[in-house]
Amino acid sequence: MSSIPPPVLPPVDENVFIPDVIEFNLKRNPEQPFYTWSEPSATNGLAVITHLEFGRAAHRIAHLLRPNRIGEDGEVVAFIALADTILYQAITTGLIVAGLVPFPISPRNSPAAVVNLLQKTSCRRLITTNITLKPLIDAVKAQIAGTSLGEELQIEEIPSLTAAFPNLAYETAEHSFEPYPKPANRPSKDDPCAYLHSSGSTGFPKAIAQTHLAWTEWARAPGVWDYREHKPRLVLGCMALPSFHTLGIFMQLLNPLYGIMSVTVYPPTATSPSLLPVIPSPENIIEHARLTHTTVLVIIPYLLLVWATSPEAIAFLKTMKLLVSD
């Protein structure tokens, strides 16, 4: 990737929504790395998803989940899945490109909590990994049986990795691609862009609307803004973050989109409906951070307690420019 031109940083203001920054980067930063992971057979041992490939993946997802913009803008689509980071965030982004409102939900929630979140957001569409989350989805179906939600809720399988990334880590401008049609009416900055939910540590998790303005404000926060101008360019290790979590959205999505930061993730392994993504562990986080030449590692706090007992881990962490913990 050393021969690619320097990044062109996108504008960050209240009028540059997610679909806008996707479009900007498709045109101005197509060769910049969006996601990278360790791949022994690839050049320099790294597989790279460029902004060209990620932007196209988002548009492909939009085509699949709302063909020809059928239906109404602003429909809430709940999203509970065990999926690789690259697909998870492509789906989140693709739903926004399609004029829908993604609601990523933790699969750790109870069936009752999931039902409550669906009800609170008037959500009538759920995309999921039906095989790997079968007990949870079956329990949700049982809980809403005989109710209006049970009659109206559509439950679908998420788009596949191949559908989003047909040329995984090898997409070029010459590959087949059809842009998703633009909206007839641009959403307001105060319209919901997505929903996230609270932890639920003191009761049911609460659905929290995130407006388009809110996400552009996030992109001006120090965790994106300060990294944009850093030289040499930083490589953010975000493989351990849950993609439904606020920190996951912030680091795995907003940082590469608005900051043109390269984000390192685990290799995609959920390549069929019955397979699972890599489960983070203290050992494989260090391993993949090392293999991907990560310079900033973003983690949850408990990992520091584990690594504090390992001289090898401490030695590696000393090579980081920065450790970020929520």
Tokens representing residue 201 in the block: 């540590």
Give the pLDDT confidence score for residue 2 in this predicted structure.
53
- Which option is the CATH number for 18-176+187-325: 3.20.20.70, 3.40.50.300, 3.40.630.30, 3.40.50.12780? 3.40.50.12780
| Residues 307 and 282 sit within 8 Å (Cβ to Cβ) | yes
User: For 212-233, what is each residue's pLDDT tens digit?
Assistant: 999 999 999 998 998 998 999 9
pLDDT, one tens digit per residue, over 38-58 is 999 998 999 999 999 999 999
* Three-state secondary structure of the chain: CCCCCCCCCCCCCCCCCHHHHHHHHHHHCCCCEEEEEECCCCHHHEEEEEHHHHHHHHHHHHHHHCHHHCCCCCCEEEEECCCCHHHHHHHHHHHHHCCCEEEECCCCCCHHHHHHHHHHCCCCEEEECCCCCHHHHHHHHHHHCCCHHHHHCEEEECCCHHHHCCCCCCCCCCCCCCCCCCCCCCCCCCCEEEEEECCCCCCCCCEEEEEHHHHHHHCCCHHHHHHHCCCCCCEEECCCCCCCCHHHHHHHHHHHHHHCCEEECCCCCCCCCCCCCCCCCHHHHHHHHHHCCCCEEEECCHHHHHHCCCHHHHHHHCCCCEEEEC
Cβ pair 201, 108 in contact under 8 A: no
Share of the chain above pLDDT 90, in %: 93
Q: Tokens standing for 72?
A: 């109404």
Q: Where are the domains of the chain?
A: 18-176+187-325
| Cis status, amide bond into 222, omega within 30 of 0 | no
Report the interhelical angle of 51-65 vs 18-28 (nearest 10°). Answer: 140
**The one-letter amino acid at 97:** V
Phi and psi for 324 in degrees, rounded to 5? Answer: -115, 130
Cα–Cα distance for residue pair 20/189, rounded to 1 Å: 12
Residue with tokens 């996400």: 215
Identity of residue 316: F
The pLDDT tens digits for 74-123 are: 999 999 999 999 999 999 999 999 999 999 999 999 999 999 999 999 99
pTM, to two decimals: 0.97
Residues of the chain with pLDDT under 50: 1
Residue 144 has a pLDDT of: 98
